[in-house]
Amino acid sequence: MAARSISDESPLARLATRRGTDGQPWLTAPEAEAGERLRRDWTRGAMMPRVTQSWDGLPGSGRSRSSGNDLGDAALDCRKRVGAALTAVGPELSGVLVDVCCFLKGTEQVERERQWPVRSAKLMLKAGLGALARHYGLIHQAGEGRGGLRGWTAEP
């Protein structure tokens, strides 16, 4: 089940265990995995904003002033993957993905902060996770794998 791979602290864990009216999980396994992958890269890329004072580089600390370029290659790769993923889903969906998957905000909190209608964040999140899952190659676009894309026009 998708919820096992998702951190218990994540709002995705709750959504991955919920069932829709048809009895199926509300989030598909690829959608849940895509959200978790984004969160892992965000965390490993050290992209969380600082909430406390940085004492690095002060006289007597024994460290030189940090220019912010001290990230390792792995963290930089994670940041690049996050940037590519958010670009792939577009600006309309990337904000809700960052809020829920990375900052671990609940959908109700996102709706209050953005002054969205009730339950709209859930729908935006599902759409964003679907686009993110396609970006990661966890699901394919319609028509792929079954003889290619189909069109309404007559073949030339």
What's the average pLDDT block by block, 10 residues per block, for the chain (156 residues)?
53 84 89 94 80 61 52 87 96 95 93 95 96 92 50 59
Q: Specify the amino acid at residue 67.
A: S
Q: Is the pTM of this model over 0.95?
A: no
- pLDDT score of 87: 96
- The burial class, CB within 10 Å (0-12 / 13-18 / 19+), for 136 is middle
Segment holding 98, helix H or strand E? none
Taking the C-alpha atoms of residue 89 and residue 86, their distance in angstroms, rounded to an integer, is 5
- pLDDT score of 155: 59
Is residue 123 within 8 Å of residue 57, measured between CB atoms?
no
- pLDDT score of 156: 54
